Amino acid sequence: MSKPRPFLLFHLITSATVFLLMFVFLAEKASANVQEDIAELKKQIQQLKQEQALQKQLFIDEIAALKMSEQIPELKEGAKTISNLGMAASKVYSSKSKVSIGGYGELTYFDPRTQGSNNESDAYRLVPYIGYRFNDWILFNSEIEFEHGGANRSTGVAVIEFMYLDFLLSESANIRIGNYLIPVGITNLKHEPVYFGSVNRPLIEKNLIPSTWHENGILVYGNVIGDFQYQAGIFTSPYAKNPTNTDSNFSPSSWIRGGRQKGAQAKAEDWSGVVRLDYSGIRATDVGFSYVYGDTSQDVAGLGNLTYSLAEVHFETRLAGFEWNGLYTRGTFDGAGELTYTSGGTLGELVEGWYTTFSYDLMRFQEGASYQLPVFVRYSEYDLNKEVATGATRDKALSKKVTTIGLNYKPTNQVVLKADFQAVDTDAGYGGDQFSLGMGFVF
């Protein structure tokens, strides 16, 4: 037998040690990799848990916000209005997206109860609002109106009702430049159909305050003291008379309404000023007044200074199913004697009127009611010939007393079906009654 060779033994021991070290090294490395993997997995699980918790919290926050807006509707996004505009017109100010699209529509059916008058159904208004917020202080807002079926018949119109840029400088002063709604009265700013119970807008806010009244100009608005909001601006004056026509644009039956230029290639020789103050410090109540003054001759040859003024005071209040509003207005026109009408009639130098509307939701105390059923009554008096030029004859038929009663069905705050009956008496006698139906929506 040969003796083991020392070199071979050494070689075997060395190899075994190397193998052992390699095994230990590899095992440790493998173990370290596993631990790293486990740590990585733990980290991922932690991240997932955090993301899940975040998503759950977002979900909870969203539900809580929805719940709160149901319980306190005044806190709902979009319920916030800016410079007394309606909720859809104000959408761009509170929209989460830069682009905002809103709108409203009205369809009417009129049944005049006077002999010889025809019934009429009208796709009265379809109005999209489009707005865009460029940054946190500059935004664009617009209202485009298709009226009486749009432009497919001679009576239809498509018109820009407002189109302006708002520069939101501070709470106390913001600047609006463009075609804007003249801040007068209740309905001119909030003319969406869910805001008034009658199928037609209040007649005083059509024939004395010429809603919808919008012109080109500049407006400054904001809050200076507490719950007071002010608006002050200048705009292109109404156009009293086109020199190529015999009759003036103003008329006895709707006063300055026919002189609205609506920003369409508007004569800009004469400008009017408007100031408005609103107070919302009385709970659930808004009170305000406004005053407009300007020259309306627009430098037409042969016409002197034709100045007009329009003042109004109004309020709106709401509580537990009751809503009550009212408005008083008075307008003057200096120079009515210079304007003539081939069909006769006299333009008022002093016009005056007031109305009040009272409504109550019949479903208010019906437990679990999912809709509103307001009944309303409006009484108004106005006189478009309260005073006329010396020597002119006052038209008694332009002094009217109008009573409107009606019922609305509101399955939501944004949809309304309407029915009303309107009786008109004048100082000259019966002024005609009318039964009306309507539907409206806003979004």
Of 94, 356, 414, 426, the one binding another protein (CB under 8 A) is 356
Q: Of the candidates 278, 331, 342, 341, which has an alpha carbon nearest to the alpha carbon of residue 307?
A: 331
Q: Which of 20, 45, 60, 151 binds another protein (CB under 8 A)?
A: 60
Q: Which two tokens stand for residue 428?
A: 């000259």
Which one, 262 or 394, has the nearer CB to another protein?
Answer: 394
Q: Cβ closer to another protein: 64 or 169?
A: 64
* Stretch of 113-121, 222-230, 344-352, 433-441 lying at the interface with another protein (CB under 8 A): 344-352
Question: Does 205 engage in binding with another protein (CB under 8 A)?
Answer: no
Tokens of 5: 């060779």
* Residue 373 touches another protein, criterion: CB under 8 A: no
Range 119-148, binding another protein (CB under 8 A):
none
Q: For residue 320, what are the β-bridge partners?
A: none
Q: Which stretch binds another protein (CB under 8 A): 13-21, 62-70, 108-116, 250-258?
A: 62-70
318 binds another protein (CB under 8 A): yes
Pick from 144, 389, 407, 417 the residue near another protein by CB under 8 A. Answer: 389
* Contacting range for another protein; rule: CB under 8 A; set: 35-43, 64-72, 90-98, 413-421: 64-72
Instruction: Tell which one of 352, 361, 420, 434 touches another protein (CB under 8 A).
Output: 352
What residue type is assigned to position 250 of the chain? F
Nearer to another protein, 64 or 151 (CB): 64
Among 381, 414, 421, 424, binds another protein (CB under 8 A): 381
Residue 396 phi/psi, 5° resolution?
-65, -25
Report phi then psi at 134, rounded to 5.
-70, -40
Kind and range of the H or E element at 431? Answer: strand 429-442
Structure tokens given for 400: 């009217």
Using CB under 8 A, which of 132, 291, 293, 322 touches another protein?
322
Q: Scanning the structure block, which residue is given the tokens 């208004």? A: 125
Which of 96, 246, 365, 370 forms a contact with another protein (CB under 8 A)? 365
Measured from the CB atom, is 156 or 321 closer to another protein? 321
Nearest 5°: CA angle at 22, between 20 and 24? 70
285 is a site residue for another protein (CB under 8 A): yes
Query: Is the omega angle on the peptide bond into residue 212 within 30 degrees of 0, that is, cis?
Result: yes
338 part of the interface to another protein, by CB under 8 A: no
Taking residues 224 to 263 in sequence order and writing x for each that binds another protein by CB under 8 A, - otherwise, the string is ----------------------------------------
CA–CA separation, 84 and 376 (whole Å) = 23
Beta-bridge partners for 372? 410
Within 13 Å and on the Cβ side, how many CA atoms surround 283? 2
Does 161 help bind another protein (rule: CB under 8 A)?
no
Say how far apart CA 106 and CA 439 lie, in whole Å: 6
Q: Which of 329, 270, 331 lies closest to 303, judged by CA? A: 270
CB 61 to another protein: min, Å = 5
Decide if 405 contacts 420 (C-beta within 8 A). Answer: yes
Rounded to whole angstroms, the Cα distance separating 245 from 230 reads: 39
Stretch that binds another protein, among 33-41, 203-211, 237-245, 312-320 (CB under 8 A): 312-320
Region from 60-68, 205-213, 218-226, 293-301 binding another protein, contact rule CB under 8 A: 60-68
Helix (H) or strand (E) holding 274: strand 271-279
- Three-class DSSP category at 195: helix
Q: What number of other Cβ atoms are within 10 A of residue 441's Cβ?
A: 18
366 binds another protein (CB under 8 A): yes
404 near another protein, rule: CB under 8 A: no
- SS3 at position 280: coil
The verdict on 64 binding another protein (CB under 8 A) reads: yes
User: Does 166 interact with another protein (rule: CB under 8 A)?
Assistant: no
Name the DSSP class of 66.
Answer: H
Query: By CB under 8 A, is residue 50 in contact with another protein?
Result: no
Q: Is 11 helix (H, G, I), strand (E, B) or coil?
A: helix
429 touches another protein by CB under 8 A? no
* Residue that is written with structure tokens 């004469």 in the block: 270
- Binding of another protein by 413 (CB under 8 A): no
Which residues make up the interface to another protein (CB under 8 A)? 56-57, 60-61, 63-64, 67-68, 71-72, 74-75, 282-285, 315, 317-320, 322, 324, 326, 328, 349-350, 352, 354, 356, 364-367, 381, 383, 385-390, 392-394, 399, 427
